C-alpha cells in the first residue's frame, strides 16, 4: 500500500509538471530555442519518477525490505531456544503452538517450510549444519526430530478459587498410591484434564482461555507436592470417601500455588483447635476417637505411622 501511495503521489507530480510546462512552453522556451534541452529535462524527470515507483537499483530506497527487516544477525548463539529472549517473548503463543485439537502434546512450529521461525531465521535455515537446527532435530539432514521438551522455562498457574462451582475436586484429583493420596495433574497429561474445558478457541467472559498463556508464564517451575503430614499417621483418602473435600480443606483466594488449599492438622489428642484437624471429626461423637484410647489401632497401624 505504501508503494502504491508513493506511485500515485509521483504520478500527480508528473501531471502537475506537464501542466506548468504547457502553460509556459510557448512563452519562454520556443523563442529562445531551448526546445531540445527542455525535452531532455522532461524525459530525465519522468525517468527518475519511474525508477522510484518501480524500485530501480539506481535510486535505492532508504527503507529496508521486509526480508532485510526480519533477518537476525550472525554471531549469536543459535544452539538453544529461549522463550525469555526479547524477540520471542513479544510473540503470541498461538503463533508457534497452534491448537487444532485437544491433543495433550503441544504442536511444534516449523512443519510448513520452517515457518514461522524462518521469517526471522532464513539465513540460519539455509545452512543444514547451523546450530539452530539442533534445537529440534537429532539429524537435520534426515529430518529426525527430538521429543518435545519438558516444562522448564515456564511455571504453571492454577487458581482454585476461580474454578469453584464449575469444576469438582474429583474432576482433577484422582486416587493415588493405593488410595492414600490424591493425584495432582502434571506434565503433558495434565492437558488431558484441562482441555475438557480449555478447548481450542474456548472463551470465558469474552476472554480467550485456549492459549498457553492462560496457565503458563515465563519463570521457574516447581511441582506441588502430593505428600501430606497426615499420611505419616496412617491417614488415607480412600477410607474417607464419604467425607466431602470441603469438610477438611478450605480454598483461600489470592494465595500462592502451594497455599491455596489448606491442610487439616494431622493431630487428634494435641490439636490446637485452630482450623481443621483429625479431632474435628474424630471426637468420640461423630466418629471414633477423642479420649477413647482403645481405638488407636484403627488408624495407627504398622510402620507407616509415627508421632
Contact 158, 184 (CB under 8 A): no
pLDDT tens sequence across 246-277? 999 999 998 988 889 999 998 888 888 888 99
State the pLDDT at residue 68.
Answer: 42
Domain borders along the chain are: 2-63, 154-263
Helix (H, G, I), strand (E, B) or coil at 203: strand
What are the residue ranges in the chain where pLDDT is below 50?
1-6, 8-22, 25-26, 29-30, 53-69
pLDDT tens sequence across 173-194? 999 988 899 999 888 889 999 9
Would you state the cell numbers that stand for residue 247, as one nine-digit string? Answer: 469438610
- Tell me the C-alpha to C-alpha distance, in Å, between residue 132 and each of 138, 169, 265, 294: 11, 43, 52, 69
State the pLDDT at residue 41.
Answer: 64
State the pLDDT at residue 98.
Answer: 83
- How far is 33 from 62, CA to CA, in rounded Å? 39
Contact 257, 157 (CB under 8 A): yes
Give the residues across from 192 on adjacent strands. Answer: none
Amino acid at each position: 500500500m505504501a508503494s502504491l501511495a508513493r506511485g500515485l503521489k509521483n504520478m500527480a507530480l508528473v501531471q502537475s509538471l506537464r501542466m506548468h510546462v504547457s502553460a509556459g512552453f510557448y512563452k519562454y522556451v520556443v523563442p529562445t530555442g531551448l526546445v531540445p534541452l527542455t525535452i531532455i529535462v522532461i524525459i530525465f524527470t519522468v525517468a527518475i519518477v519511474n525508477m522510484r515507483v518501480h524500485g530501480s537499483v539506481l535510486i535505492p530506497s532508504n527503507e529496508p525490505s521486509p526480508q532485510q527487516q526480519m533477518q537476525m544477525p550472525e554471531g549469536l548463539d543459535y544452539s538453544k531456544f529461549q522463550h525469555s529472549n526479547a524477540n520471542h517473548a513479544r510473540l503470541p503463543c498461538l503463533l508457534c503452538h497452534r491448537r487444532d485439537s485437544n491433543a495433550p502434546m503441544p504442536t511444534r512450529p516449523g512443519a510448513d517450510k520452517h515457518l514461522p521461525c524462518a521469517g526471522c531465521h532464513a539465513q540460519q535455515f539455509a545452512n543444514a549444519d547451523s546450530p539452530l537446527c539442533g534445537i529440534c532435530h537429532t539429524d537435520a539432514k534426515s529430518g529426525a526430530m527430538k521429543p518435545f521438551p519438558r516444562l522448564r522455562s515456564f511455571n504453571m498457574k492454577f487458581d482454585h478459587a476461580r474454578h469453584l462451582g464449575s469444576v469438582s475436586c474429583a474432576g482433577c484429583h484422582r486416587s493415588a498410591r493405593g488410595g492414600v493420596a490424591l493425584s495432582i495433574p502434571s506434565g503433558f497429561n495434565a492437558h488431558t484434564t484441562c482441555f475438557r474445558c480449555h478447548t481450542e478457541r474456548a472463551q470465558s467472559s469474552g476472554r480467550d482461555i485456549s492459549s498457553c498463556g492462560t496457565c503458563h508464564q515465563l519463570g521457574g517451575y516447581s511441582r506441588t507436592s502430593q505428600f501430606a503430614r497426615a499420611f505419616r499417621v496412617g491417614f488415607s483418602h480412600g477410607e474417607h470417601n464419604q467425607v466431602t473435600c470441603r469438610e477438611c480443606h478450605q480454598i483461600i483466594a489470592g494465595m500462592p500455588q502451594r497455599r491455596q488449599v489448606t491442610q487439616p492438622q494431622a493431630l487428634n489428642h494435641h490439636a490446637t483447635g485452630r482450623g481443621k484437624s483429625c479431632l474435628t471429626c474424630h471426637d468420640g461423637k461423630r466418629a471414633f476417637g477423642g479420649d477413647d484410647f482403645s481405638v488407636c489401632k484403627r488408624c495407627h497401624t504398622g510402620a507407616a505411622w509415627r508421632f
